[in-house]
Structure 1
Amino acid sequence: MKKTGIFNSEISAIVASMGHMDKIAIVDMGFPIPENNKKIDLVVDKNIPTFNDVSKTVLKELYIEKIIIAEESSEEFIDLIKKICENIEYVSHEELKKLSKESKAIIRTGEIKPYYNAIFISGVIF
């Protein structure tokens, strides 16, 4: 049994397979997930788990160089993202949905705040 890190086997496998510039999306309950994307549904109930819970855990193992979020995002969400990464790209919510199709996986959280969706771009550790 693993001692630390990501215990969800699907998320752990995706993170381990990611290379430079690969994408993984972490989204709220209402985000439309394209049929052809790998969907990892973590929703237990409203706000369980939250976007913040999931992103903090994923980032224990994933090094990122950029995050893409919607221009429509709240200041609260933008502040949260700024604590994670300084390199933020802003796109329309419609564009974010299109870009999510390029993700290796989309992790659906129990988050119920609007526009709590982000695409994490993998970096390199050297």
Structure 2
Amino acid sequence: STLASISQAKAAAWEAAKADATNKLETEQLQSEIAQLTEASQQEKLRQTAEYRDELHALARARQHKASQDFDKARHEEASSNGLVFECYARDPAMKEAHKQTGSFQQQQRQLEALRKKQDREAAIQ
């Protein structure tokens, strides 16, 4: 009975050690799989982030290119137009007339009138 109990105790200890070794091996395998999945997940996240960043940069470059083209087109149209045309004058002839009444047009008329008077005086003296 003592030999049988010692044998059973040794068998139980061996089974426990075997179970512990199996559990340890399974735990290490699971930890290894978890580490691999975590690494793969992080790599996928980095790849997606880089892809998104590249897409944003491509969109920004496309917008800059379009803005540059629009600017160049506007400069070309401005250069090829027939000089400066005041948009408000083209839109509203009454505004042009009001400018003639009060602006530099009237000042030019006064200067011409003063010049004519001066020439008349000089002609009368001679």
TM-score bracket, shorter-length normalisation: under 0.3
* Structure with the bigger percentage of strand: 1
Q: Specify which structure has the bigger relative contact order, considering alpha-carbon pairs within 8 angstroms and separated by 6 or more residues.
A: 1
* Structure with the bigger percentage of helix: 2
The normalised TM-score by structure 1 is: 0.17
The normalised TM-score by structure 2 is: 0.17
